[in-house]
Amino acid sequence: KNEVEQSPQNLTAQEGEFITINCSYSVGISALHWLQQHPGGGIVSLFMLSSGKKKHGRLIATINIQEKHSSLHITASHPRDSAVYICAVKYGNQFYFGTGTSLTVIP
């Protein structure tokens, strides 16, 4: 089993702030998935990465395979970014999920 830890669990930020969400896992993986879940809404895939760094708009995801750690960054945060961000690691056929980081961006 792969233990996945996310930090922080809850995060409140002012609009415009730079945000970092961290994910650590215990066993080597083939891929890591960042997901976004809005209240009462579905789950949207943000990034799937196995090495290096990916960028999409204001979102940046990085992964350090040696340190078993990934970060999700949001630049120039906006209230519409308020959601739960979930890290999932692929180990074998399975995905193991963190418990999520609840982000609230205040106008």
Partner 1 sequence: GAGVSQSPSNKVTEKGKDVELRCDPISGHTALYWYRQSLGQGLEFLIYFQGNSAPDKSGLPSDRFSAERTGGSVSTLTIQRTQQEDSAVYLCASSLGGARGGPYEQYFGPGTRLTVT
4 C-beta neighbours (distance < 10 Å), count: 24
Strands 101-106 and 59-64: unpaired
Candidates 7, 12, 64, 94; binder of partner 1 (CB under 8 A) is 94
Q: Is 50 or 106 the residue whose CB approaches partner 1 more closely? A: 50
b/e burial code for range 20-50 (CB count within 10 A of at least 16 → b): ebebbbeeebeebbbbbeeeeeeeeebbeee
Closest distance to partner 1 from the beta carbon of 68 (Å): 16
What is the contact mask toward partner 1 in residues 64 to 93, using x (rule: CB under 8 A)? ----------------------x-x-x-xx
Candidates 43, 65, 76, 106; binder of partner 1 (CB under 8 A) is 43
Q: Which 3 state secondary structure label does DSSP give 52?
A: strand
The answer to the question of residue 33 lying near partner 1 (CB under 8 A) is yes
